Structure 1
Amino acid sequence: MSGKTIVRPYGDTTGDGMVQVSFTLPVPYDKRAEGAALQLAAKMGLDPAMLVHAKQMGDGFTFFVVYGRVSHLVDLSRVEVVERDFPLLSAKEVNALVRSRLRRKLSVVGACIGTDAHTVGIDAILNVKGIAGEKGLEYYRELSVTNLGAQVSVPDLVEAARAARADAVLVSQVVTQRDAHLHNTREMSAAFREALPAARRPLLVVGGPRFDEKMAGELGVDRIFGRGTTPGEVASYLVHKLITERAAA
């Protein structure tokens, strides 16, 4: 890594260590609540801490925004991330590889599982309209896409994947209360392991804003995509894992 590896947060001036944090406390809004917020900020290492926003959120809860200085440093040389380990392909290149190497349409099944009713993520990846001007996987001529929508049970997802002879299953999880996204993902991966032998098991891919991309192995899936993922990245990954990588094995 070139350049400096030790950095501090930036607020008003370079390296001043200023950060802004937000949180909710289970107390009604008053002066005592403001004091409690500043006490918490001080225990978090903000010194000095300034309360810049406070608002009652229903009965007995107050939302706070606090601004202050921290003394902590960030060592960029020790940051661990999941780097993209496959080439980013255009839709034309993806279609060409599927047509020439797979010689049939690549089957993809997507859903939001459990009680998660937030389809924005899965729709952004699958629907033709896509996201930010990039078309979703339904636009790819050589991909056969089945979008099951929201609140799909794990057994129903397994059966749908079996019926579609899915090469890949894409699951989006937005709801994270009590780690629901982690529990649902583990349940899903276990169900596929139990229902299908390894040779017939589809590629399992999950995505959502609160996932740690390094947890794929722990959760029993092949890949985790975080926020900001585009349909092109997902399509390129599927082709890399299901066609390019297998051909080289």
Structure 2
Amino acid sequence: MNVVRPYGDTTGDGMVQTSFTLPIPHDKKAEGAALQLAAKMGMDPAMLVHASQVGDGFTFFVVYGRVNHLVELDKVVVVERDFPLLTAKEVNTLVKQKMRRKLSVVGACIGTDAHTVGIDAILNLKGIAGEKGLEYYRELKVVNMGAQVTVPELVETARREKADAVLVSQVVTQRDAHLHNTREMSAAFREAMPAGKRPLLIVGGPRFDELMAEELGVDRIFGRGTTPREVASYLVHTLAVSKKEKVSL
């Protein structure tokens, strides 16, 4: 069995650090409450590293301590990248050769989510982390609808633009808003378009579990750290490359 333990001061010492907020004012009793919670989380011994008042009646804590849990690496399940990472030139060439038209992409932040940083990083020309966004790819036609787009508006735009793919970014996660919005979107597309006519549905954001794509009714979930090049490569691999060619890639 391939197992590891957390590392803090020395190899395998099981030391971890975590932070949380309790809805109580900062005093000695609050600090004791934080240590009690840490103990119930399995930290033994637990040390209070930091405590500070954050507004009326709330305290933020950082605790450090040892846990006895082991990580069984053989049981870790993740979504591995199952497509080659292409350059912009390769993406453009494949779209031109295989689709013989521009690949249409519509992107938006849906619901009340007003954070466009994620969708702009993937779509806008300036991109992120030294990579240019999908607007840079000459064989991709990109429509960025911005923030607080309703699901009906997204469906209508995707239909009008004959979208091959719809990209949705969700940053706000309070009360699982990102999950509710994604399910609403996927249901709306299933209702509005037949299976063979629906665009590829892709969602991204820092709090998504990439393993939940099927449960949420989408084709792919991209998590934090995703780059425009990864998204472009996935689009081409899924929409422009034949099944036979995918086997050999």
Q: TM-score range by the shorter chain?
A: over 0.9
* Structure 2 SS opposite 1:114: coil
**Structural mapping, 1:29-48, within 5 Å:** 29-48=26-45
Q: Deviations over 1:80-117 (max 9, x none)?
A: 00011111111000000001110110000000000001
**Structural mapping, 1:35-184, within 5 Å:** 35-184=32-181
Relative to structure 1, is the Cα distance of residues 176 and 78 closer, same or farther in structure 2, using a 3 angstrom cutoff?
same
Residue 189 (structure 1) aligned with residue 215 (structure 2)? no
Instruction: For 1:190 and 1:89, locate their aligned partners in 2 and report how far apart those are by CA, in whole Å.
Output: 32
Instruction: For 1:14 and 1:63, locate their aligned partners in 2 and report how far apart those are by CA, in whole Å.
Output: 29
Which residue of structure 1 lines up, in the alignment, with residue 234 of structure 2? 237
Which residue of structure 1 lines up, in the alignment, with residue 19 of structure 2? 22
| 4+ runs deviating over 4 angstroms | 246-249
* Structure 2 SS opposite 1:80: coil
Instruction: For 1:152 and 1:248, locate their aligned partners in 2 and report how far apart those are by CA, in whole Å.
Output: 37
Letter in 2 for 1:127: N
Instruction: For 1:222 and 1:247, locate their aligned partners in 2 and report how far apart those are by CA, in whole Å.
Output: 20
Tell me the TM-score normalised to structure 2 length. Answer: 0.97
CA-CA distance at 1:247 after TM superposition: 6.8
Gaps of at least 5 residues in structure 1 are none
Relative to structure 1, is the Cα distance of residues 196 and 50 closer, same or farther in structure 2, using a 3 angstrom cutoff?
same
Q: Deviations over 1:212-235 (max 9, x none)?
A: 000000000000000010100100
How many residue pairs match? The answer is: 246
Letter in 2 for 1:232: R
Instruction: For 2:65 and 2:139, locate their aligned partners in 1 and report how far apart those are by CA, in whole Å.
Output: 53
Question: Which moves more between the two structures, 239-248 or 152-161?
Answer: 239-248
* Structure 2 SS opposite 1:54: strand
Instruction: For 2:108 and 2:242, locate their aligned partners in 1 and report how far apart those are by CA, in whole Å.
Output: 25
Tell me the TM-score normalised to structure 1 length. Answer: 0.97
Relative to structure 1, is the Cα distance of residues 182 and 172 closer, same or farther in structure 2, using a 3 angstrom cutoff?
same
Letter in 2 for 1:93: E
Instruction: For 2:11 and 2:192, locate their aligned partners in 1 and report how far apart those are by CA, in whole Å.
Output: 55
